[in-house]
Structure 1
């Protein structure tokens, strides 16, 4: 079996990456070598692990069962390596992380850059997407989630909070009567984020009054960057993280609508499996983010 441990690691990387070509790129091998390694493993086991087509790879039932065992073995081996790395103060490994797309230019991305500079033997594979990715099925070490977490079997740590601001372009605001109360927005257009409820709760910073209204959206999107763009095109109100709009408010392009009324802040969380492949490295990075003070 010892002779086939490398074959198992290559097989796991192919499954994680979803193709021989991507796995080969990550491993620094030729795609033909990676394909042959998996074929040799299948021949040794006497089963087919992967159905191959020109478009995608699909695990067979035997492949799914075997992959689970291989991942557990790799996690145990990497846990031992990470434990020794932690003791030597020289963390090593790759962290696969998903983050919301709007964090591409944020303090979290800056923190990742600083961590990488502090630890040159650590590499990152970052997937910026506004779609929530399944940590286990995607083989992620960590996911940065924004909002407020529901109960989960995953491990989690709060990293910080960020204000959300109600904004619209200056040109759009100038077409509407002055708004001083959320109910004044009933006939305003909205650019709505699909992954958030259409109801919006405002709290008065002076009286503490709470008011809930429903967005009337002509445009719905799944991207914070798209929301900002459509609002800049005079398409209506958007609720966006402060760091995405503050510079445009300062320049006068955007108006902070109802500044005396606040919206619930966004919570920033690090979420990871309770049996992480790189437990010590993951926890080290999470602690770094928490101490960094992300927003």
Structure 2
């Protein structure tokens, strides 16, 4: 048997916790999984996995050997990627995740340009406002707002997320125009329940940093719904400026508090640290950084 293949099988069994799950993932029989494990154990002269009728667990030697296997497999993947990158143009399918609003309004049109540049690449754009797991969902990359805390991910910085405070003229005619961020406490503010800011909005202005706890009688889990509610005069909205630029230019929404900046948040493109850097993924990362960097 090929030792590198057997190491890959062993690593998969260790990650998934059972021969059956690894067999399903690798699309081979549980019997063949067992042969690969026995091949390694006979070669090493020691047991790597404790087997029982209910579960499998790594021996102490198995845990140490797993670390070496993963490093060797990563180096092999990196070597393959270097050869592929040198010999191959970007081709194949990419799965990319981002938020519903940004993906619909900005990234989808940008990807049309990307696919014209790389005609052999296809893209599956996954739009969700929930935090998706790239590894579990089989995603190649994601564009997210916020600080990276996942050590299994690599990232490159994009331009920060900046918001603008707006309201419809009809709302302002009824409730008045706030002159200072603290005035927002007396207004209806439209809020997305999943935003990390929550009910506290932060501003930077002549008098430094200001935090305001806003009231939200109407919360919606859709950025598009919040925009339409703001256009209908439901309240004041804090949203990414590029999503409201057309409404502002047409006079459907009026920018408020022009002397105060909203707090910007980091934005980045992420991809799994141990995912092979293929030409198609490298092309996507470079394109996104060039477009939004």
Deviation, 1:84, is 3.5
The answer on 1:83 being equivalent to 2:55 is: no
The answer on 1:152 being equivalent to 2:150 is: yes
Give the structure 1 partner of residue 204 of structure 2: 203
Structure 2 spans left out of the alignment, 5+ residues: 6-11, 13-23, 35-53, 59-69
> Following the alignment from structure 2 to structure 1, what is the Cα–Cα distance between the partners of residues 123 and 75?
21
Deviation, 1:210, is 2.1
Provide the aligned C-alpha RMSD in A.
3.3
Length, aligned pairs only: 241
Deviation, 1:293, is 3.3
Deviation, 1:138, is 1.1
Moved more, 273-282 or 207-216: 273-282
Question: How is 1:18-167 mapped onto 2 (pairs within 5 angstroms)?
Answer: 41-42=28-29, 45=32, 82-88=81-87, 90-146=89-145, 148-153=146-151, 154-167=153-166
Deviation, 1:213, is 0.8
SS at match of 1:123: strand
Give the structure 2 partner of residue 260 of structure 1: 259
Give the structure 1 partner of residue 192 of structure 2: 193
Instruction: Please give the per-residue CA displacement for 1:107-166, whole angstroms capped at 9, x wherever unaligned.
Output: 4333322221111121111101111101111111111102x2142211111121243111
**CA 1:176–1:246 in 2, change beyond 3 Å: closer, same or farther?**
same
**CA 1:43–1:132 in 2, change beyond 3 Å: closer, same or farther?**
closer
**CA 1:74–1:130 in 2, change beyond 3 Å: closer, same or farther?**
farther
- Contact 1:276–1:282 (CA<8 Å) still a contact in 2? no
> Following the alignment from structure 2 to structure 1, what is the Cα–Cα distance between the partners of residues 155 and 252?
37
- Contact 2:81–2:277 (CA<8 Å) still a contact in 1? yes
- Contact 1:85–1:92 (CA<8 Å) still a contact in 2? no
Instruction: Please give the per-residue CA displacement for 1:73-127, whole angstroms capped at 9, x wherever unaligned.
Output: 9999976664344213511221111011111344433332222111112111110
Give the structure 2 partner of residue 236 of structure 1: 235
Deviation, 1:254, is 0.8
Give the structure 2 partner of residue 179 of structure 1: 178
Structure 1 spans left out of the alignment, 5+ residues: 6-11, 13-36, 48-60, 66-71
Give the structure 2 partner of residue 23 of structure 1: none
Deviation, 1:268, is 2.1
> Following the alignment from structure 1 to structure 2, what is the Cα–Cα distance between the partners of residues 152 and 135?
11
Give the structure 1 partner of residue 244 of structure 2: 245
SS at match of 2:273: coil
Please report the TM-score for the alignment, with normalisation by the length of structure 2: 0.70
SS at match of 1:186: helix
